[in-house]
Amino acid sequence: MIVLVDLSYREGSLAREEFVLPIAAILNAEGSEYRIVHHTRSPGEAARECDGIILCGTPVMDNGFLETPQSFSWIAETDLPVLGICAGMEILALLAGGRVVSGPEIGMTEVRVTAGDPVVPAIRSFEAYELHENACTLPPGFVTLAESDRCIQMFRDPVRPVYGVMFHPEVRNEWVVGRFVSAFCRPSR
């Protein structure tokens, strides 16, 4: 089972329809079970019984989750695979010593692959949908996997299967979620 963490400002907001349920649909197509938990409802407890965690994105300017980064300390303490999408990447960057900086992008962007990895196919570049006002600096020791002209688009922890993606794979790059789940989140891992 994968825990999907809804990072939006309010549980049950319309953002769930736009940023969480499309990830759930990808997991359904992959044959993976999931559970949705709002970030204010102790997701760390739900994560004890799962095979992986996905921190879902939020609408532009929905940054309330950044006011309490300490409430996500459970992520730094888990050995589970974690995929942070957009807002989720921001949380991962903060937890690992990176920073969240201004870096707005909206629309389609060319993303260049800079390093090979089980989650990133052996391609030079791909188009991705961006919808963010912030970007992240690379946390110490992390590896940049992809970038655009404006910011880091994907990074990875060098030791654990912890990934951040700034673009929204639920829009045109479902393969990111599929490859992450296939590589790291199967019960037999």
Q: At what angle do helices 21-30 and 175-184 cross, to 10 degrees?
A: 60
Dist CA 76 CA 74 (whole Å): 5
- Select which of 18, 136, 168, 185 is catalytic: 168
Dist CA 153 CA 167 (whole Å): 6
86 catalytic per annotation: yes
185 catalytic per annotation: no
Instruction: Could you list the beta-strand ranges (E) of 56-184.
Output: 82-85, 100-113, 125-136, 143-147, 152-156, 162-165
Task: Check: CB of residue 109 under 8 Å from CB of residue 130.
Answer: yes
- Select which of 86, 136, 151, 185 is catalytic: 86
136 catalytic per annotation: no
Pair type for strands 162-165 and 82-85: parallel
Which residue is listed with tokens 């309010």?
Answer: 10
Dist CA 134 CA 79 (whole Å): 27
The token pair that represents 87 in the structure block? 């807002």
Coil/strand/helix, residue 46: helix
Active site residues: 86, 168, 170
